[in-house]
Amino acid sequence: MAGSGSQKPNEPKRPRQTPEAPKKPLQVMHISRKDAKEDLDKKSTDAERNTKFGFLNSDKSSRSQEGDSTSRINLQSSSKVNLDVDELENVSMADLIGPEKQNLRGREVKSNQPDETRFADRSVDDFDFDEDAFLAALDQNEPIGSTGETAKGSVIGVESDGVYVDIGGKAPGFMPKNECGLGVITNIKERFPIGMEVEVLVTREQNADGMVTISCRALALRKSWDKVRELEKEGKVVQVTVNGFNRGGVTCDLEGLRGFIPRSQLEQGENHESLVGKTLPTAFLEVNPETRKLVLSEKKAAIATRLAELKIGQLVEGRVLAIKPYGFFVDLGGVSGLLHQSMVTNGSLRSLREVFNQGDQVKALITDVDPRRGRIGLNTALLESTPGEILVEKEKIMIEAEERAIKARSVLKQNESNPKEETSN
């Protein structure tokens, strides 16, 4: 027993419960709060530093609210002593800033943009609006000079390569030297002195600098084509001077335009080279501004001159040149007229040869003259006293044609006046 009793003191002592065991959690909790407080103090210092630069407000209540939020996160985890990134996972910037700071931050941003803050709550009707001033500004900045338009202005500068003209735009119009007029200009400064008023045609719209390209030559050509077309419409005979020749004919100048007369339309086509420098009467065969074709005829001019001598109601005499199914062609001394079958007699006509044959002399009244187309309309039915008289008394009618023509003219005048009376009614 003694031996066994002597070994008992050497046995390891069983751990016993001591009152110090419960203090361990208290010690851990005490350390956690201390570290948390230090961390909060550090964050509060950072927050104050950031507030100085405009990022956060230094409001004490917000900082304490931020501290409470962080403390709640720290207290929920008893296994960690220091703050983790994971612990801030559910914390938003709104929680850190607070509602008051958000409003303050918004006011600070607006203070940097005073115009937007001032006009944010105003409508368009609150602003002053002058419609006349707005339209005047539009007119002032409206581009001047579209292609094909005419413009008037004054010369403000002359260079070796062209002329500058003030036409009322943002920039002056420029007219190249070769567009300053028809023909060759030897001294451009004498031709366009400073201050000279000119009328030009816009050939190219304004570039990036607001300058347009203008031309006196293009405007002169347009006016020349318009005048030539009017002369053609009236069937006028024009005098031209031959200034050149080629294998097909001769060239000439008319209103600044280059005209061409084919050899077949010349009275002396076999020796057309000798016509250079001579003036010839010509009529128009073709006038086409789009293709710039101006074709004239000396032979047609003789017809046009003869046509100009003829009037409606005039009694003429000629020879039958040809008989066609629709009537007779009669030579009237350089021009031919058409006696249509419907104008031969007021009676029933079975065949044209019942009245005239080729080569017969015919007296007839002129009822139509078309100088442009070179056509003359003739009539023998008006010389009849009774319908079909010319079929049996042709010689008598031809002898008494002068007396019968006087009566026929009164009939023509009456026919001309009737349409006017119907129109007035």
Domain shared by 299 and 319, yes or no: no
Confidence of residue 50 (pLDDT cuts 50, 70, 90): low
Domain presence at residue 144: no
Whether the CB-CB separation of 391 and 347 falls below 8 Å is answered with: yes
Question: Is 142 inside any structural domain?
Answer: no
Q: Provide the residue count of the chain.
A: 425
Mean pLDDT of 107-131: 51
Does a structural domain hold residue 223? no
Domain identity same for 177 and 242: no
pLDDT of residue 241: 93
The range of the structural domain enclosing residue 51 comes to: 26-110
Residue 195 lies in a domain: yes
Count the domains in the chain. Answer: 4
Residue 203, pLDDT > 80, answer yes
Same domain, 41 and 106: yes
- Asked if residue 80 is part of any domain, the answer here is yes
Residue 122 falls within a domain, yes or no? no
Is residue 9's pLDDT more than 70? no
CA distance 234 to 374: 11
Rounded average pLDDT over 229-253: 91
Looking at the structure, do residues 324 and 363 belong to the same domain, yes or no?
yes
Together in a domain, 299 and 317: no
Q: Please state the rounded mean pLDDT for residues 178-190.
A: 83
User: For residue 110, what pLDDT is reported?
Assistant: 44
Looking at the structure, tell me whether residues 179 and 275 fall in a common domain: no
Q: Are residues 321 and 277 in the same domain?
A: no
pLDDT at 360 over 60: yes
Residue finishing a domain among 303, 334, 357 = 303
The dihedral formed by the CA atoms of 92, 93, 99 and 101, expressed in degrees to the nearest 10: 160
334 and 414 belong to one structural domain: yes
Residues 98 and 198 in one domain: no
Q: Specify the pTM.
A: 0.50
Average pLDDT, the chain: 75
155 burial class (0-12, 13-18, 19+ CB within 10 angstroms)? buried
pLDDT exceeds 90 at position 307: no
Please tell me the predicted confidence (pLDDT) of residue 81. Answer: 41
Buried b (16+ CB within 10 A) or exposed e, 280-306: bbbbbbebeeeeeebbbbbbbbbbbeb
Q: Would you call 158 exposed, middle or buried from its count of C-beta atoms within 10 A (0-12, 13-18, 19+)?
A: buried
Residue type, 151: A
**Over the stretch 78-88, which tens digit does the pLDDT of each residue have?**
444 444 545 55
Domain annotation covers residue 21: no
The token pair that represents 167 in the structure block:
């036409």
* Average pLDDT score over residue span 173-194: 86
Q: What is the CATH number of the domain that holds 188?
A: 2.40.50.140
**Which of 169, 185, 216 is at the close of a domain?**
216
Taking CA 321 as the corner, what is the angle to CA 317 and CA 327, rounded to the nearest 5 degrees? 85
Same domain? For 42 and 103 the reply is yes
Do 418 and 325 belong to one domain?
yes
How far apart (Å, rounded) are the C-alpha atoms in residues 172 and 263?
48
Lowest mean pLDDT among 17-31, 133-147, 326-340, 383-397: 17-31
3 state SS for the chain: CHHHHHHHHHCCCCCCCCCCCCHHHHHHHHHHHHHHHHHHHHHHHHHHHHHHCCCCCCCHHHHHHHHHHHHHHHHHCCCCCCCCCHHHCCCCHHHHHCHHHHHHHHHHHHHCCHHHHHHCCCCHHHCCCCHHHHHHHHHHHCCCCCCCCEEEEEEEEEECCEEEEECCCCCCEEEEHHHCCCCCCCCHHHHCCCCCEEEEEEEECCCCCCCCEEEHHHHHHHHHHHHHHHHHHHCCCEEEEEEEEECCEEEEEECCEEEEEEHHHCCCHHHHHHHCCCEEEEEEEEEECCCCEEEEEHHHHHHHHHHHCCCCCCEEEEEEEEEECCEEEEECCCCEEEEEHHHCCCCCCCCHHHCCCCCCEEEEEEEEEECCCCEEEEECHHHCCCCCHHHHCHHHHHHCHHHHHHHHHHHHHHHHHHHHHHHHC
Q: For 16-30, 172-186, 409-423, which range has the lowest pLDDT when averaged over its residues?
A: 16-30
Q: Which of 303, 328, 354 is the last residue of a domain?
A: 303
If asked whether residues 293 and 371 sit together in one domain, one would say no
| Domain assignment of residue 397, yes or no | yes
